[in-house]
Chains A and B, each alone.
Chain A
């Protein structure tokens, strides 16, 4: 019984996505069955649309920059939290989670207020700032559980054996937490790539992909939105799958290496 229910739950989650994907290959503009034929015309149309391509590129730039900044800030934070105890750790944990506990609307209007008061022009930079604020809590949360198991005495052992702090980080810390950080960086990229609610408020003339899809939705319903949606879906889901596989593969490598050590 429960098994059937869970599969229905999964079907409910994927059905709308499947329908959009299906109609993105429809040869006629109709969004109804019966299906008349398969064609790539909507993809051809969207790929020759300069606005769409520009916003896709902007989204990649914003996503990559967000992931980079979030990864630097987030990794330092996670390593720092492992060294802190008690009240400071709890307090900072709460502060770092704050941006996600509030609706995106609130963050968007608060940031636009700040930017206008300090005279910062809205551009891709303001979008990146907003996205770092939004992705940082997820990054810290994703990395934290792994870091909590991180044994600080390993670093101390390396230092006692004469490694410099940089060597310790490169040879001891990074190999252990690296895969987790890589996975979390990809998570940040995907979250940034899809972010819309805060972006609406902090964007200037350069738009990101969700903003373009939004303005397409507000105009007449045209089937090339299906193609645009599928491209956006494919990129973020594809990336998450790659990230997941990477983490899984690294973990397997580590496990098999450990098994070999045990045999030896």
Chain B
């Protein structure tokens, strides 16, 4: 008993530095940002106040809904594509290969810088880019296809490319918990391939599935660099609007209010996604709970 208590005190002492760091540089700033969303800005100066003006200003502008819809659309399309494309690859890695070479090969590409990948897609999709010039040299088109670059399509393609390796990592570690024996047992009991997938594998890696989907969604819906560089005029998102408030001499309290509205929208998508899995009967039943 004494030993256990001393061990716990030691544990608390060891995590204390990180806790302090997170308190000062994560919790305090987040709270400060929330408080500031009720302040006012005059001539680029912050004036402490308690007003809902920033929220009502955002919610009464039709542009805000449009830009938020763009952000959510980017996030949802990217998350569906990323998880959809990565799941078969994760399945292959976990059940069909023995070594880890393929897995590591994919993970290493995660470290090919984010900006460089955006730049690479701009080179490939641009009007003087690889695809357009190749198509023109082949005589298939006479004018460069402008829709390739500066469109939501370019944004979603690039974000998917950026998010794939990390989603794969999360899915592989989730699938590794679904032991081969369960799959074999289901087969022996006469389940078809589809049934094995929807009744055994997917419900058992539910947490990893939700994690990979939400992680991809939040990062890509909140991203402002990719839509700014590749999205064109129709690809403007709330993220860009928020970033502009803080980067150029903008209205910080207004930006803070929009950031919290965007987080609220993310929460709604999360609840919706969990509900959808429930309705599709892909959520684990009671018996799988710890």
Interface residues of A (CB under 8 A from B): 2-3, 5-6, 9-10, 12-14, 16-17, 19-20, 23, 31-33, 72-74, 76-77, 79-85, 88, 92, 95-96, 98-99, 101-114, 117, 129-130, 132-133, 136, 140, 152, 190, 194, 196-197, 200-201, 210, 213-214, 217, 221, 225, 229, 232-233, 236-237, 240-241, 244
Contact = CB atoms under 8 A, between A and B. Distances in A.
A77 B25 contact: no
A96 B124 contact: no
B115 A240 contact: no
B26 A98 contact: yes
A84 B116 contact: no
B281 interface: no
A5 B88 contact: yes
A19 B123 contact: yes
B147 interface: no
Nearest to B20: A73
Interface in B54-89: 85-86, 88-89
A140 B17 CA distance: 13
A187 to B, nearest CB: 9
Contacts of B122: 217, 221
B165 A13 contact: yes
A2 B113 contact: no
3 nearest A-B residue pairs (beta carbon) = A103-B222, A80-B14, A83-B11
Contact of A14 (B96, B109, B128): B109
Contacts, number: 237
A113 B112 CA distance: 30
Interface of B: 7-8, 10-19, 21-22, 25-30, 32-33, 36, 85-86, 88-89, 91-93, 96, 102, 104-106, 108-109, 111-124, 126, 128-130, 133-134, 161, 164-165, 215, 218-219, 221-225, 229, 239, 242-243, 246-247, 252, 255-256, 259, 263
Given A20-B123, A113-B29, A133-B25, A105 B243 contact: yes
Contacts of B242: 105, 109
A102 B218 contact: yes
**Secondary structure class of chain A's binding surface, majority of residues:** helix
Contact of A109 (B7, B12, B256): B256
Q: Identify the interface centre among B11, B27, B134, B263: most chain A CB within 10 Å of its CB.
A: B11
A32 B108 contact: no
Given A103-B219, A229-B119, A16 B108 contact: no
B84 to A, nearest CB: 11
Contacts of B221: 103
A98 B96 CA distance: 34
Given A12-B161, A31-B130, A33-B134, A210 B115 contact: yes
B120 A17 contact: yes
B224 A13 contact: no
A241 B108 contact: yes
A196 B225 contact: yes
B111 A236 contact: yes
Contact of A20 (B22, B30, B105, B119): B119
